[in-house]
A and B are shown apart, each in its own frame.
Chain A
Amino acid sequence: KQEVTQIPAALSVPEGENLVLNCSFTDSAIYNLQWFRQDPGKGLTSLLLIQSSQREQTSGRLNASLDKSSGRSTLYIAASQPGDSATYLCAKTTSGTYKYIFGTGTRLKVLA
């Protein structure tokens, strides 16, 4: 069974700190890797999408990387702000399918 694990499950950091969220998967067959943000009581907002031919994507203070050989992706957040507080989810698809397998999520709190 394919599994996607995110570590840590929860993280609390002071404002301004750089941080890394981890996503690992048991099946290295991967087509896309997408990072989402979910605010309490809200839907998921897409942050970054890494396609199979890519190794990383950047948007503002966010950088996501993908290492298929080790079955890992990381989301780097630079100069964290209280507004970054949310749950971060990664999800992967396998080649030939639309089906996303979601990770367990990391709940981030950035303290002012």
Chain B
Amino acid sequence: DAGVIQSPRHEVTEMGQEVTLRCKLISGHNSLFWYRQTMMRGLELLIYFNNNVPIDDSGMPEDRFSAKMPNASFSTLKIQPSEPRDSAVYFCASSLGLPSYEQYFGPGTRLTVT
């Protein structure tokens, strides 16, 4: 299995532009998590899905952020419009769910907004 796949690995964009981050889950997993990591705040959960349904989006910072799961194996995280403070590494992780809830992380997307 290739593990969790994220694209792009690096993204540099100008303030105000739309950014779309992509994630492919491990085959057979039913839960998907989007995290953001910064030096100041560490790892923060933005949103998670179970069986394609958003369960908890309380970590999504603002309406500028949106996440979708159009099918069981793929998710996107969109930022529109982007701002410099959105610069961070964004990870997605997938899980098989019960009983262990063990999470497997992708390599991350390093986003820089200038």
A contact set with B: CB distance below 8 Å: 31-32, 34, 36, 41-46, 49, 51, 89, 93, 98-100, 102, 104-105
Are A51 and B100 interface neighbours, CB within 8 A? yes
Which chain A residues lie closer than 8 Å to B55 at the CB level?
98
Residue B102 CB within 8 A of the other chain: yes
Chain A residues near B48 (CB-CB < 8 A): 98-99
Residues in B neighbouring A42, C-beta threshold 8 A: 107-108
Q: B105 touching A98 by the CB < 8 A rule?
A: no
A interface, over-half SS: strand
Question: Are A102 and B100 closer than 8 Å at their CB atoms?
Answer: no
Secondary structure at the B interface, as helix, strand, loop or mixed, is strand
Interface pairs (14), CB distance under 8 Å: A43-B91, A43-B108, A44-B91, A44-B93, A44-B105, A45-B105, A46-B103, A49-B102, A51-B100, A98-B31, A98-B56, A98-B95, A100-B33, A102-B43
With A43-B91, A43-B107, A43-B108 known, 19 other A-B pairs at CB within 8 A are A31-B101, A32-B100, A32-B101, A36-B105, A41-B110, A42-B107, A43-B4, A44-B93, A44-B105, A46-B102, A46-B105, A89-B43, A93-B101, A98-B48, A98-B50, A98-B55, A98-B97, A100-B103, A102-B43
Interface positions of B (Cβ within 8 A of A): 4, 31, 33, 42-43, 45, 48, 50, 55-56, 91, 93, 95, 97, 99-108, 110
Is the Cβ of B101 less than 8 Å from the Cβ of A43?
no
Q: Is B45 in contact with A34, judged by CB distance below 8 angstroms?
A: no
